[in-house]
Chain A
Amino acid sequence: MDRSFLSNEKVIEASRNFVCIRLATYEDEAEAEFLRTVYVGRTGDLENTVFVLMTPDTKENLCRPGRSPNFAFRSPSSLAAEMNKIAKDYKTSADLTNPILPQLKDVRLGLNVSSCDGLPSVICVADENNPADFMQNALAPLAYSKELAGKFVYSTTTDASMLNSIENYSGQPGILLVEPGEYGLDGKLIKQFSPSTKPSVIENALIEYAGAAAKVSKNHSTHVRTGMREGKAWKTEIPIEDRNTLQAMQRSNRTSGRGGPGGRRPGGN
């Protein structure tokens, strides 16, 4: 993922007039089908990364699709300038005060992405008496607010046992602030809010936490090498297609003695 573009201040500012969607490649068959309609490499396989700007109905690409922003743009500034130009053509037609919480499809992925981004996780744990949408509606405006946008990674579960790997978590429903582990396979509970906590209380706590915490950065090769040595493995939901990635994994597996890249099917393990 090209961080130089996506962490650029001008691009972040321009993103406020866009709906920003970041999918996890090879983690959902239906999303993979959609991505294949956007961009595939010369081999026809879905590549590791995809980037494009599109119209709201997805019928038209607004830039050349590719593996990353630098397929179509020379610099972060040129991407931001194009985004600002495009945004002028669209009048937002709906109420922006009822946003949809920008979250991952499940907590397993949410915790992993949280670790990838080096950002803390906010997890809604719902049950039959504490519906998910109540907590999500409380969090959604905060997730887009000027103070908190892009500072936390959100996900939801109705199965508290999915969070057995979270240190200090008792299994009660509520909104959890979690610091992800180095590999996103576990984490540590920092704070828990009851499901009925006022949004302003959560907002103040998140602002305070974000103001004192730091984005975690990792060394790529050290992380991968150590992860392999320690057996930290991730099974994708669908098989990986990107040939460069597959070759790299085969090389790595030969040296570490691990099994093949595989890929788990939904419902499988």
Chain B
Amino acid sequence: MNSSPTRLFKSSQRIRLITALAAMICINSCYAQSKSEIPSGIAWHGVLTDGLADAKATNRPIMLLSAAPQCAGVPGMW
């Protein structure tokens, strides 16, 4: 089937537009994957007396945890 030059031009423009959109989506997706953020966590009192004073002042129950900040004598690991 023969196509007119105008139709061919419009078709090639459409292809270019679709390609550009796909590229933009891909770049955005890659950026989103590489962007990092420290997640929210628990605000821990690290001193018993501070934590107990806070619990007494605010009448909130306590979640108590203790862990050793070393593994086999090597620091930097719980």
Contact = CB atoms under 8 A, between A and B. Distances in A.
Interface string A131-169: 000000000000110100111010100000000000000
Given A116-B78, A210-B37, A214-B37, A19 B46 contact: no
B10 to A, nearest CB: 44
Contacts of A223: 71, 74, 76-77
Contact of A150 (B36, B42, B57, B65): B42
Interface residues of A, number: 100
Interface string B44-64: 111110111111111111111
A129 to B, nearest CB: 24
Interface residues of B, number: 43
A21 B65 contact: yes
Contacts of A93: 58-59
Given A105-B47, A214-B38, A92 B58 contact: yes
A109 to B, nearest CB: 7
14 contacts: A20-B51, A23-B66, A48-B67, A54-B64, A93-B59, A96-B58, A115-B75, A116-B69, A116-B78, A151-B41, A184-B69, A185-B75, A223-B71, A223-B74
Interface of A: 1, 6-7, 11-12, 15, 17-28, 30-31, 34-35, 38, 48-58, 62, 83, 86-87, 89-94, 96, 99-105, 109-110, 112-113, 115-117, 119-120, 143-144, 146, 149-151, 153, 155, 180-185, 210-215, 218, 220, 223-224, 227-228, 232-234, 236, 240, 242, 245, 248-249, 252-253, 258, 261
